[in-house]
Protein backbone atom coordinates (compact mmCIF):
# COMPACT_ATOMS: atom_id res chain seq x y z
CA UNK A 1 0.00 0.00 0.00
CA UNK A 2 1.30 3.43 -0.97
CA UNK A 3 0.25 6.98 -0.26
CA UNK A 4 -0.74 9.49 -2.95
CA UNK A 5 -0.66 13.16 -2.07
CA UNK A 6 -1.36 16.22 -4.22
CA UNK A 7 -0.44 19.67 -2.97
CA UNK A 8 -0.55 23.16 -4.40
CA UNK A 9 1.49 26.11 -3.15
CA UNK A 10 2.26 29.69 -4.07
CA UNK A 11 5.75 30.29 -5.36
CA UNK A 12 8.05 32.75 -3.63
CA UNK A 13 10.57 32.53 -6.48
CA UNK A 14 11.36 35.80 -8.21
CA UNK A 15 12.67 36.61 -11.64
CA UNK A 16 15.37 36.39 -12.91
CA UNK A 17 16.40 33.47 -10.70
CA UNK A 18 13.25 31.35 -11.23
CA UNK A 19 14.67 29.12 -13.96
CA UNK A 20 17.85 28.33 -12.02
CA UNK A 21 15.90 27.62 -8.84
CA UNK A 22 13.49 25.31 -10.66
CA UNK A 23 16.45 23.46 -12.18
CA UNK A 24 17.82 22.97 -8.64
CA UNK A 25 14.44 21.80 -7.35
CA UNK A 26 14.02 19.30 -10.18
CA UNK A 27 17.58 17.96 -9.96
CA UNK A 28 17.41 17.56 -6.19
CA UNK A 29 13.94 16.01 -6.31
CA UNK A 30 14.95 13.40 -8.88
CA UNK A 31 17.76 12.21 -6.60
CA UNK A 32 15.80 12.40 -3.36
CA UNK A 33 12.61 10.85 -4.77
CA UNK A 34 14.61 8.00 -6.27
CA UNK A 35 16.33 7.35 -2.94
CA UNK A 36 12.99 7.39 -1.07
CA UNK A 37 11.06 5.29 -3.60
CA UNK A 38 8.77 8.21 -4.47
CA UNK A 39 7.23 8.82 -7.90
CA UNK A 40 5.25 11.76 -9.20
CA UNK A 41 4.93 14.86 -11.33
CA UNK A 42 5.48 18.59 -10.85
CA UNK A 43 3.96 21.65 -12.49
CA UNK A 44 5.45 25.12 -12.02
CA UNK A 45 3.43 28.05 -13.38
CA UNK A 46 5.65 30.99 -12.30
CA UNK A 47 3.11 31.75 -9.53
CA UNK A 48 2.26 28.26 -8.24
CA UNK A 49 3.60 24.78 -7.74
CA UNK A 50 1.37 21.72 -8.08
CA UNK A 51 2.77 18.29 -7.40
CA UNK A 52 1.62 14.74 -6.96
CA UNK A 53 3.77 12.49 -4.80
CA UNK A 54 3.33 8.71 -4.55
CA UNK A 55 5.22 6.30 -2.38
CA UNK A 56 5.72 4.94 1.11
CA UNK A 57 3.87 7.00 3.75
CA UNK A 58 7.04 7.77 5.72
CA UNK A 59 8.78 9.07 2.61
CA UNK A 60 5.79 11.25 1.67
CA UNK A 61 5.70 12.68 5.22
CA UNK A 62 9.43 13.43 5.04
CA UNK A 63 9.08 15.21 1.69
CA UNK A 64 6.05 17.22 2.78
CA UNK A 65 7.86 18.35 5.93
CA UNK A 66 10.72 19.54 3.76
CA UNK A 67 8.39 21.31 1.30
CA UNK A 68 6.51 23.08 4.11
CA UNK A 69 9.84 24.39 5.50
CA UNK A 70 11.15 25.39 2.06
CA UNK A 71 11.21 29.21 1.75
CA UNK A 72 10.47 28.91 -1.98
CA UNK A 73 6.90 27.80 -1.10
CA UNK A 74 4.12 29.50 0.81
CA UNK A 75 0.49 28.57 1.47
CA UNK A 76 1.21 24.85 0.96
CA UNK A 77 -2.21 23.22 0.68
CA UNK A 78 -2.72 19.47 0.54
CA UNK A 79 -5.72 18.92 -1.71
CA UNK A 80 -5.70 15.13 -1.80
CA UNK A 81 -4.15 12.52 0.45
CA UNK A 82 -5.15 8.88 0.04
CA UNK A 83 -3.95 5.31 0.04
CA UNK A 84 -3.29 3.67 -3.33
CA UNK A 85 -2.43 0.09 -4.27
CA UNK A 86 0.46 0.95 -6.60
CA UNK A 87 2.21 3.76 -8.39
CA UNK A 88 0.13 5.70 -10.92
CA UNK A 89 3.31 7.45 -12.15
CA UNK A 90 5.62 4.42 -12.17
CA UNK A 91 8.00 5.65 -14.85
CA UNK A 92 9.14 8.89 -13.24
CA UNK A 93 10.92 9.72 -10.02
CA UNK A 94 9.84 13.25 -10.98
CA UNK A 95 8.07 14.12 -14.20
CA UNK A 96 8.52 17.81 -14.99
CA UNK A 97 7.16 19.35 -18.15
CA UNK A 98 8.93 22.72 -18.00
CA UNK A 99 7.41 26.18 -17.84
CA UNK A 100 3.67 25.74 -17.45
CA UNK A 101 2.63 29.35 -16.86
CA UNK A 102 -0.26 28.81 -19.27
CA UNK A 103 -1.74 26.41 -16.67
CA UNK A 104 -1.75 28.88 -13.80
CA UNK A 105 -5.51 29.41 -13.93
CA UNK A 106 -6.08 25.66 -13.41
CA UNK A 107 -3.77 25.51 -10.40
CA UNK A 108 -5.11 28.75 -8.90
CA UNK A 109 -8.69 27.46 -9.17
CA UNK A 110 -7.86 24.55 -6.87
CA UNK A 111 -6.65 26.95 -4.18
CA UNK A 112 -9.65 29.24 -4.62
CA UNK A 113 -12.35 26.60 -4.23
CA UNK A 114 -13.82 26.78 -0.75
CA UNK A 115 -16.49 24.12 -1.04
CA UNK A 116 -15.53 20.46 -1.04
CA UNK A 117 -17.42 19.52 -4.22
CA UNK A 118 -15.73 22.18 -6.36
CA UNK A 119 -12.32 21.40 -4.88
CA UNK A 120 -12.85 17.68 -5.53
CA UNK A 121 -13.61 18.37 -9.20
CA UNK A 122 -10.67 20.76 -9.58
CA UNK A 123 -8.37 18.23 -7.90
CA UNK A 124 -9.54 15.54 -10.32
CA UNK A 125 -8.86 17.93 -13.21
CA UNK A 126 -5.38 18.70 -11.88
CA UNK A 127 -4.57 15.01 -11.41
CA UNK A 128 -5.72 14.29 -14.97
CA UNK A 129 -3.55 17.13 -16.27
CA UNK A 130 -0.47 15.85 -14.41
CA UNK A 131 -1.10 12.35 -15.72
CA UNK A 132 -1.52 13.55 -19.33
CA UNK A 133 1.67 15.60 -19.19
CA UNK A 134 3.72 12.72 -17.84
CA UNK A 135 2.25 10.33 -20.42
CA UNK A 136 2.86 12.77 -23.27
CA UNK A 137 6.44 13.19 -22.11
CA UNK A 138 6.90 9.43 -21.97
CA UNK A 139 5.36 8.95 -25.44
CA UNK A 140 7.56 11.67 -26.93
CA UNK A 141 10.63 10.39 -25.07
CA UNK A 142 11.04 13.92 -23.76
CA UNK A 143 13.51 14.05 -20.87
CA UNK A 144 11.48 15.83 -18.19
CA UNK A 145 13.04 14.29 -15.19
CA UNK A 146 14.50 10.89 -14.94
CA UNK A 147 12.61 7.72 -15.61
CA UNK A 148 12.67 5.62 -12.50
CA UNK A 149 14.81 2.54 -12.54
CA UNK A 150 12.62 -0.41 -11.57
Task: Read off the pLDDT of each residue in 46-63 and give the average, rounded to a whole number.
Answer: 94
pLDDT of residue 58: 97
Domain ranges of the chain: 2-139
Whole-number Å distance between alpha carbons of 92 and 115 = 32
pLDDT of residue 99: 65
pLDDT of residue 150: 43
3-state DSSP assignment of residue 21? helix
**pLDDT tens digits for 69-95?**
999 999 999 988 999 999 887 877 888
Q: Are strands 39-44 and 95-99 parallel, antiparallel or unpaired?
A: parallel
CATH placement of domain 2-139: 3.30.70.100
Burial class (CB in 10 A: 0-12, 13-18, 19+), 2: buried
pTM: 0.79
Pick 42 or 130 by higher pLDDT.
42
Burial 76-100 (b: 16+ CB within 10 A, else e): eeebbeeeeeebbbebbbbbbbeeb
Given a cut of 70, whether residue 134 has pLDDT beyond it is no
pLDDT of residue 7: 93
**pLDDT tens digits for 87-122?**
887 877 888 866 666 666 667 666 665 555 566 777
Beta bridge partners of 95: 41
Given a cut of 80, whether residue 60 has pLDDT beyond it is yes
| 149 DSSP assignment | P
Amino acid sequence: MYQSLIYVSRSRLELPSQAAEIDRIVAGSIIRNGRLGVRGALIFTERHFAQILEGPSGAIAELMGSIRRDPRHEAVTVIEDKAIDGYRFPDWSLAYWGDASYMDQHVARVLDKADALSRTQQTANLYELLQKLSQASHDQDRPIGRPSSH
